[in-house]
Amino acid sequence: MSTESSPWEEHFGSRENQSVAAQLGMWIFLGSEVLLFTNLFVGYAVYRYYYPEVFVEASKHLKAEWAMVQTLLLVTSSLFVVLAVHYIRQGRQLLTVLVLVLAIGMGLGFLGIKGWEYWEHWKEGALPGEYYRLEELPERGGSLFFTLYFLLTGLHAIHMLVALGLLGWLVWGALSGKYTAEYHIPVEVGGLYWHLVDIFWLFIFPLLYLVE
């Protein structure tokens, strides 16, 4: 039954097996992503333990209310992505495209706010490592906070860019009618990736912006 145009592969034995294998593969990849971010979170925990006061002061240079807006954007985009999975399971391709485009718009809004924040840090001199020029904060701890800030948010932003590309590719696939109620494995696993990027931000938000 496997022709060149069919997305189903015979060596999986059954369609159910192919779907399960794709999802398991994605989950294992997500597990490796968790361990990648874990290293940065551990570094953050250790240096927050050593420089608690400096971290509180440094955190006041970040824009907590905009970070809340960013969190709301990501959480809402996650809703749209799960709706895309919901609709494509029912075979409603146009609705799937619509909610995916909405999710992409929110992701772009998130990155726009992030870019503006980076620009503000640049002007202020709140930069990582040896580029740190902030006078009000001690260099010890202060430069470490901003190093961790740029590493965590930067790695997250790179993941966002990849995830946005993935969603764009899903929009293209849904528009060209590749996904149906029977075959929608890419929408399911692509959605999983978007949600994981969302989850990372759920921790970055309180850890960096709401230090007290």
Partner 1 sequence: MTEEKKKSAWGYVVVWGVLAVLTVATWVLGTKIKLGVFSLPVALGIAVVKTVLVAMFFMHLVEQRGARRVVLPVSAVFLCLLLGVTLLEAMTRIRMARPDGIEEELEPKRPASTRTAPPGSGAKRLMGN
| φ/ψ of residue 180, rounded to 5 | -135, 180
| Residue 131: DSSP 8-state | G
> Closest CB to partner 1 among 63 and 178?
63
SS3 for 179?
Answer: coil
> Closest CB to partner 1 among 54 and 157?
54
Residues that bind partner 1 (CB under 8 A): 20, 23-24, 27-28, 30-32, 34-35, 38-39, 41-42, 45-46, 49-51, 64-65, 67-68, 71-72, 75-76, 78-79, 81-83, 85-87, 89-91, 128-130, 132, 139-141, 143-144, 147, 181-182, 188, 191-192, 195-196, 198-199, 202-203, 205-207, 209-210, 212
Q: CA torsion 61→63→64→65, rounded to 10°?
A: 150
> Closest CB to partner 1 among 147 and 157?
147
- Phi/psi region, residue 202 (left: phi>0; alpha: psi -120 to 50; beta: rest), is alpha
Tell the smallest beta-carbon distance from residue 154 to partner 1 (Å).
15
Tell the smallest beta-carbon distance from residue 144 to partner 1 (Å).
6
> Closest CB to partner 1 among 4 and 93?
93
Nearest to 185 by CA among 197, 198, 173: 173
Tell the smallest beta-carbon distance from residue 94 to partner 1 (Å).
15
Instruction: Compute the distance between CA of residue 2 and CA of residue 16 in angstroms, rounded to an integer.
Output: 15
| Residue 199: DSSP 8-state | H
